[in-house]
Amino acid sequence: MTNTLLQDWTTPFQIAPFAEISDDDFAPALEEALAAHLAEIDAIAQNPVAPTFENTIEAMEGAGEMLGNVLSVFYMIAGADSNPKRQELQRDFSPKLSAHSSAINGNAALFARVEKLWAARDTLDLNEEQTRVLMLTHRGFVRAGAALTGDDEATMTKVKSRLAVLGTEFVQNLLKDESDWFMPLSEEALAELPDFVQDAAQAAGTDKDAGGPVVTLSRSLIVPFLQFSPRRDLREKAYNAWAARGANGGETDNRGIAGETLKLRETRAKLLGYPDFAHYKLETEMAGTPDAVRDLLMQVWEPAKAQANKDAAILENLLHKDGYEGPLEPWDWRYYSEARRKTEHDLDEAILKPYLQLERMIDASFSCASRLFGLEFKELDLPLYHEDCRVWEVTKEDEHIALFIGDYFARGSKRSGAWCSAMRAQARKPKLQTPIVINVCNFAKPSAGKPALLSYDDARTLFHEFGHALHQMLSDVEYESVSGTSVARDFVELPSQLYEHWLEVPEVLSEFATHADTGEPMPQELLDKVLGAATYDMGFATVEYVASALVDLAFHVGDAPVDPMQKQAEVLESIGMPHAIGMRHATPQFAHVFAGDGYSSGYYSYMWSEVMDADAFEAFEEIGDPFDTATAKRLADTVLSSGGSKDAKELYLAFRGRMPGVEALLKGRGLAAV
């Protein structure tokens, strides 16, 4: 019987034929694809012809197409629509993929060819992108341990294999804690909530087969519950369950995994000659050193903490007026902050939310991309992996550019958060391929027949992830390894965070923020309130983020902590963490850091990129037109189209002419005068 995953796909745009793929296909497909890729690599390594860029580096770029197809499909659905079988496969695949990577990086003949090319690079007549790809390939081998021998080589292989297993376990434990817990709501407790929260609770109850409305640990439901429920006892119960994810004891407890992960990362870094993992990780980033990261974070921390402490005193006073004694607690902040926002800004999210329909916000994100970059979007009817998914063809001047998939609603089978992935990245060599890009979000799914409504934060998330998608769609490079978002971690968030700014452009909200029931545009008075409150509660938002980034950095500088939870407590005490604010991601649920190496020692990167995005949007503001075509073209030609084909700093300088300071960020967050 043929395995669809291993065939040439004749579907439109060669999208994966999801309807023809079963879970039983993945394991045999992976085995065959791994073997095929190793055979391709071995042929490159054993080529009797002297190494050239084309027969070694470019050949490596083209190898593994079958494996890429298998993994792109599997990890897409494993993250967005998991089930017990797929989780079992993830656990099985992790060590196999780690061993596969180690086999390639440990191929002495292959590394010798790369070494020869690197040594002779000045004589190879390479263009700028080829030189960059050669450098990145050589550096990747060295940083993966290709130069290690004997016991050190064996130890590195074991370390990477174990890290892969631990990352998978961390994510699956977190998903199980999130999907297992829910809190039933009585009719009285439900009636005290706004209609949109009631609808989300009803839908969640249906999804859980709970026989009534529930609160779950999905951010899209628990956050509005914490904002609007006057029941302090229920807020406390829900918040504590949310905060305890990954730390409930038993099989799903992530604290031991975090400790082992940190120790293994330290071992890995020291095998390669670095003092600790942070120095190893940051060597390839824009920041460069742990000191540079900490300096940026502390420049933001102090004014943010000062603002948060001022806000906490006001909110605690509101708590006391309600008859509660004692300090403001973390389960109180969002509720009293929402009450204060109604008073000070006359802005009620329950009134605002009907104007932020998911459908209209999707239209808004597409419209901005059309005005800025000339892209057009046509929805298609293609079978995807879940009924909630949608797909659009993206064109520019009638030429096919990409496919874009949107998977917007929360469900128990989807891991939390929001992300962008490329199921196929753009490249021109060794063969032409256009990208297939997907945005995955966790917005509350409405009851049947009702429109999906977003919070303002949800709408920002939609624009953020679409900014990542644009980085993939507009990529225009030769080689996949430097395509799209294949850039320094502290540069990758620049396009996404920059795109958020267009949500705040008044003419965008005026056109697309229309009422779900009446179709009327958002009144100017409400629009003014929304924009006027854009930096409201920014002390809280900044503190919860920067605290997480500082803990992440501290975990990876110096010796790995024996007890990560104790280290977390020590860091928070040393920086004076406000009592009523929790970390955005406490250690046992810090998937950015412990699901893999992606954001380890790199969670700061959102802030590093924000320094640039605040300054980059000023390029449009200085001209007085957020849709200035010349500035948009310069942005596309430098940052968005170049991927990692050039150094990140070089790309930003090409767009802006200078590097920014932290001032624009503090101004944008309303913290400059604190």
Using a CB cutoff of 8 Å and minimum separation of 24, what contacts does 541-544 make?
542/300, 542/301, 542/304, 542/307, 542/308, 542/669, 542/671, 543/301, 543/304, 543/305, 543/308, 543/577, 543/578, 543/581, 544/581, 544/582, 544/583, 544/584
Residues 626, 635: contact at Cβ < 8 Å? no
3-state helix, strand, coil in the chain (%, to 5): 60, 5, 30
The C-alpha atoms of residue 580 and residue 576 are separated, in whole angstroms, by: 12
The C-alpha atoms of residue 220 and residue 196 are separated, in whole angstroms, by: 11
Catalytic residue among 40, 61, 349, 465: 465
Q: Which of 671, 644, 597 is nearest to 98 (CA)?
A: 597
| DSSP alpha helix (H) spans, 428-558 | 456-473, 489-500, 506-512, 524-532, 538-556
The C-alpha atoms of residue 346 and residue 337 are separated, in whole angstroms, by: 12
How many Cβ atoms sit within 10 Å of the Cβ of residue 495? 27
**In which residue are the tokens 């629509």 written?**
81
Residues 652, 659: contact at Cβ < 8 Å? yes
The SS3 of residue 455 is coil
How many Cβ atoms sit within 10 Å of the Cβ of residue 3? 17
The C-alpha atoms of residue 416 and residue 410 are separated, in whole angstroms, by: 8
**In which residue are the tokens 């974070």 written?**
297
The C-alpha atoms of residue 283 and residue 414 are separated, in whole angstroms, by: 33
- Catalytic site residue 465? yes
The C-alpha atoms of residue 260 and residue 450 are separated, in whole angstroms, by: 46
How would you label 363-381 residue by residue, b for 16+ Cβ within 10 Å and e otherwise?
Answer: ebbbbbbeebbebebeeee
Beta strands in 296-444 (DSSP E): 375-380, 390-396, 399-409, 419-424, 436-443
For 19, 207, 321, 532, 542, the CA distances from 536, given in Å and listed in that order, are 46, 34, 22, 8, 11
The SS3 of residue 213 is coil
How many Cβ atoms sit within 10 Å of the Cβ of residue 663? 13
Which pair of tokens denotes residue 308? 């948060």
For 21, 184, 204, 214, the CA distances from 210, given in Å and listed in that order, are 31, 8, 8, 7
Q: Which of 230, 232, 260 is nearest to 159 (CA)?
A: 260
The C-alpha atoms of residue 380 and residue 373 are separated, in whole angstroms, by: 21
Residues 268, 277: contact at Cβ < 8 Å? yes
Q: Which of 158, 33, 171 is nearest to 91 (CA)?
A: 171
Which pair of tokens denotes residue 432? 């032409």
SS3 per residue for 7-41: CCCCCHHHCCCHHHCCHHHHHHHHHHHHHHHHHHH
Strand order across the 436-443 sheet = 375-380, 390-396, 399-409, 436-443, 419-424
| DSSP alpha helix (H) spans, 106-254 | 108-119, 128-144, 150-180, 187-191, 195-208, 219-228, 232-243
Positions marked active-site: 465
